[in-house]
Amino acid sequence: MKVRTRSIPGVGGLDIDFSITPESLVSKGIRADEGFTHDIVCNVHLEEADKDVYLSGQAVALIDALCYRCGETFEHTQKTPLYLTCSPRGKYDDPKEKKAYGQSDVHQESEDGLVYFDNDELDLSEIVREQVLLSLPMRYLCGENCQGVCIKCGATLNVEPHHCEVNPS
């Protein structure tokens, strides 16, 4: 989903709803413990001020994840809040802009979510895709009370009553 910055109204901004297909995520490389099987649903609001575009919104992904404790696959809903500043590449090359913003301010913004764009065009799919991938947890748990597997026989402790006696040696 590409948007020209000149299409953003000066008052009220622009609301955009779009989806990102799982195929576009897989082609960019995904870790083995996630399965994106549904579209990522995105709701984005864009505001423009002084050549910068302020992006806010949310992306929701439904993921087939692998539980770290029990090894079972389960459906995980990943909600990613979006708050980014999009700035045209080269904006700070102008000496007047550098003086107005200060070099340290530019560096600080980049740590807090500054995204650069070229040619008056924002690639919202790429921006959101990156934010979703960065927000994924390191490990998934199917539930807070997941008991994992038996260390002796490997039975899933969440599913069935367990009668195996573990030797505490």
* pLDDT per position as a tens digit, 103-126: 333 323 344 568 888 888 899 998
What per-residue confidence (pLDDT) applies to 112? 56
**Whole-model pTM?**
0.74
18 occurs within a structural domain: yes
What per-residue confidence (pLDDT) applies to 150? 84
Please tell me the distance from the alpha carbon of residue 79 to that of residue 11, in angstroms, as a whole number: 28
- Domains identified in the chain, total number: 1
Please tell me the distance from the alpha carbon of residue 129 to that of residue 157, in angstroms, as a whole number: 36
Tell me the CB-side half-sphere exposure of residue 91, using CA atoms within 13 A.
21
79 occurs within a structural domain: yes
154 by Cβ neighbours in 10 Å (0-12 / 13-18 / 19+) ranks as exposed
144 occurs within a structural domain: no
What per-residue confidence (pLDDT) applies to 32? 47
Residue-range definition of the domain harbouring residue 23: 2-135
What is the SS3 assignment for 132? helix
116 occurs within a structural domain: yes
24 occurs within a structural domain: yes
pLDDT digits (tens, 9 = 90+) for 19-77: 998 877 665 555 545 688 889 999 999 999 888 999 999 999 998 999 999 989 999 99
10 occurs within a structural domain: yes
50 occurs within a structural domain: yes
